[in-house]
Amino acid sequence: MNTPVTIIGAGLGGLVLARVLHLNGIPAAVYEAEPTPTARSQGGMLDIHDYNGLLAIEAAGLTAEFRGIVLEGRQAFRFLGTDGTVLFEKDDDGSGGRPEVQRGDLRRILLDALPDGTVRWGAKADTVRGLGDGRHEVTFADGSTVRTDLLVGADGAWSRIRPLLSAATPEYTGESYMETFLHDTPARHPAVAATVGAGAMYAPSATEGIVAHRESGGTVHTYVSLVRPLDWFAGIDFDDPAAAAARIAREFDGWAPELTALITEADRGPIPRPLHTLPLGHRWDRAPGVTLLGDAAHLVAPNGEGANLAMLDGADLGRALAAHPGDVETALAEYEQAMFPRTAEVPSGEELMASFFGDNPPEGLLAELGALPTASDDRPGRTPR
Ligand SMILES: Cc1cc2nc3c(=O)[nH]c(=O)nc-3n(C[C@H](O)[C@H](O)[C@H](O)COP(=O)(O)OP(=O)(O)OC[C@H]3O[C@@H](n4cnc5c(N)ncnc54)[C@H](O)[C@@H]3O)c2cc1C
């Protein structure tokens, strides 16, 4: 079968691309491995930035729909010490420029804005080969194939399309997240609800950390971060959530109980999420008829930009293709020349701190982060790296 613009992956990046192409009258087909739109919980709050993600939403013509899914008040944030003391807090005064939405809601408004049948669910790309003249053939896990003049790898960290362009593969960063969910927290976990507050709660230390977000319906979604080798996690049975939670919580010995409750009282989890990255500045030589966007192109450890950048990639690529009808190579070159430099750097620790506190980070927080542990450091909650 021949398809028009062929996008592998219906994540946020691939869907924004399909939508911008649709707005410009360019047909596209999106092939997604998941069997249905609701097969997997999309989980997670995303703050969408006015300098990248929001621009993509605008290009997709979905600003009004986006406003309808913003969770008001969620731009509030607070930093806690490991003893539960609030070191810094800021209410959501509406001036943040980073509206918070649930990833699942964002994906839904994008899906709803595409013509029926654009996304082919249950289509897991398996292998891909060049046919010459910029044409490619993708073979799916069920043995079916498509041939296309323009192939876009929007299939995330473990892209099946990337090998056409680059030999790079993701490497473990040394850090993993354990994801937990506590539901209906005001009624069922009031101490946790009070600790997390109205928006985001960060409790960092030098080698561990807990980040929690208040989602809709009183759910608190937490990422517990641990800097440990992969084989350390391999020794934990995550199929036994209670035992896994107890094991993870031991690493937070000495932390305030209202913080460790985010692990031990979880209704779901801990679910391990090892963090991987492609080499920073990953790029490739222009190859006819194929390109990448989002994590497939520039996977980094979560820094609050990945989904925003994936959407901006999709919008930019869609606009470039619309601007150069009949000249795919010029469009791809234009897209890549803009995308490579903006993804070649990640915000430094200082820049991330400045995005929260300006020039005046709270001293208590610096003390928490600055007391780097050593192998002989036996203070509670301070596991050496
Ligand atoms: C724990 C965690 C927290 C994060 N928090 C944030 C945050 O707060 N803000 C932010 O901006 N970013 C965040 N990110 C980063 C963000 O999730 C990614 O950068 C973003 O999802 C990339 O979008 P994408 O469309 O490129 O890829 P993805 O979202 O990964 O979508 C890829 C799609 O391709 C499909 N797929 C994969 N393989 C195949 C195949 N072989 N065939 C067909 N389909 C396939 C997948 O099922 C998926 O639907 C976080 C990441 C992690 C791991």
DSSP state of 163: G
pLDDT score for 360: 72
R_g over Cα of the chain: 22
199 lines ligand 1 (CB under 6 A): no
Identity at 279, one-letter amino acid code:
P
What is the arithmetic mean of pLDDT over 22-28? 97
170 lines ligand 1 (CB under 6 A): no
pTM of this structure? 0.92
Q: In Å, what is the CA distance from 1 to each residue of 5, 133, 149?
A: 13, 17, 12
pLDDT score for 242: 96
Residue 305, pLDDT above cutoff 60? yes
Contact at 8 Å (CB) between 152 and 317?
yes
What is the arithmetic mean of pLDDT over 217-233? 95
Arithmetic mean of pLDDT over the chain: 90
| Residue range 341-375, pLDDT digits in tens | 999 887 777 777 777 777 777 776 666 665 433 33
Q: Is 133 annotated as a binding residue?
A: no
266 lines ligand 1 (CB under 6 A): no
14 lines ligand 1 (CB under 6 A): yes
Closest approach atom of ligand 1 to CA 48: 11
Residue 382, pLDDT above cutoff 50? no
Q: Is 40 annotated as a binding residue?
A: yes
Residue 2, pLDDT above cutoff 70? no
Structure tokens given for 291: 């390109």
pLDDT score for 385: 24
Q: In Å, what is the CA distance from 121 to each residue of 95, 103, 117?
A: 39, 19, 9
The rounded percent of the chain whose pLDDT value lies above 90 is 78
Closest approach atom of ligand 1 to CA 223: 1
Distance of CA 240 to the CA centre of its chain: 26
Q: Is 147 annotated as a binding residue?
A: no
Contact at 8 Å (CB) between 267 and 183?
yes
Contact at 8 Å (CB) between 261 and 255?
no
**Which domains are present in the chain?**
2-71+99-170+279-342 (3.50.50.60), 173-276+349-370 (3.30.9)
Q: Is 47 annotated as a binding residue?
A: yes
pLDDT score for 70: 92
pLDDT score for 42: 65
Q: In Å, what is the CA distance from 72 to each residue of 47, 95, 98, 101, 182?
A: 12, 12, 11, 9, 20
> Measured between alpha carbons, how far is 2 from 137 in angstroms, rounded to an integer?
9
The interaxial angle of helices 12-23 and 306-323, nearest 10 deg, is 30
Residue 157, pLDDT above cutoff 50? yes
Nearest to 69 by CA among 168, 195, 219, 216: 216
> Measured between alpha carbons, how far is 86 from 284 in angstroms, rounded to an integer?
46
Identity at 196, one-letter amino acid code:
V
> Measured between alpha carbons, how far is 85 from 362 in angstroms, rounded to an integer?
12
> Measured between alpha carbons, how far is 328 from 334 in angstroms, rounded to an integer?
10
308 lines ligand 1 (CB under 6 A): yes
pLDDT score for 370: 57
DSSP state of 278: P
pLDDT score for 381: 31
307 CA distance to ligand 1 middle (Å) = 7
Higher pLDDT, 217 or 222: 222
Structure tokens given for 78: 């607070």
Q: Could you give the strand order of the β-sheet that contains 135-140, starting from the edge strand earlier in sequence?
A: 2-3, 145-148, 135-140, 125-132
Residue 300, pLDDT above cutoff 60? yes
305 lines ligand 1 (CB under 6 A): yes
**Given pLDDT bands bounded at 50, 70 and 90, which one contains residue 3?**
low
What is the arithmetic mean of pLDDT over 59-85? 93
**Given pLDDT bands bounded at 50, 70 and 90, which one contains residue 376?**
very low
| Residue range 248-276, pLDDT digits in tens | 999 999 999 999 999 999 999 899 999 99
What are the beta bridge partners of residue 149? none
296 CA distance to ligand 1 middle (Å) = 9
Whether the CA torsion 347, 353, 356, 360 is positive or negative: it is negative
What is the arithmetic mean of pLDDT over 232-237? 95
Closest approach atom of ligand 1 to CA 304: 9
295 CA distance to ligand 1 middle (Å) = 6
Least confident of 41-50, 163-172, 176-185, 367-376: 367-376
> Measured between alpha carbons, how far is 16 from 153 in angstroms, rounded to an integer?
13
For ligand 1, atom 38, the nearest C-alpha belongs to 155
> Measured between alpha carbons, how far is 113 from 179 in angstroms, rounded to an integer?
30
Residue 314, pLDDT above cutoff 70? yes
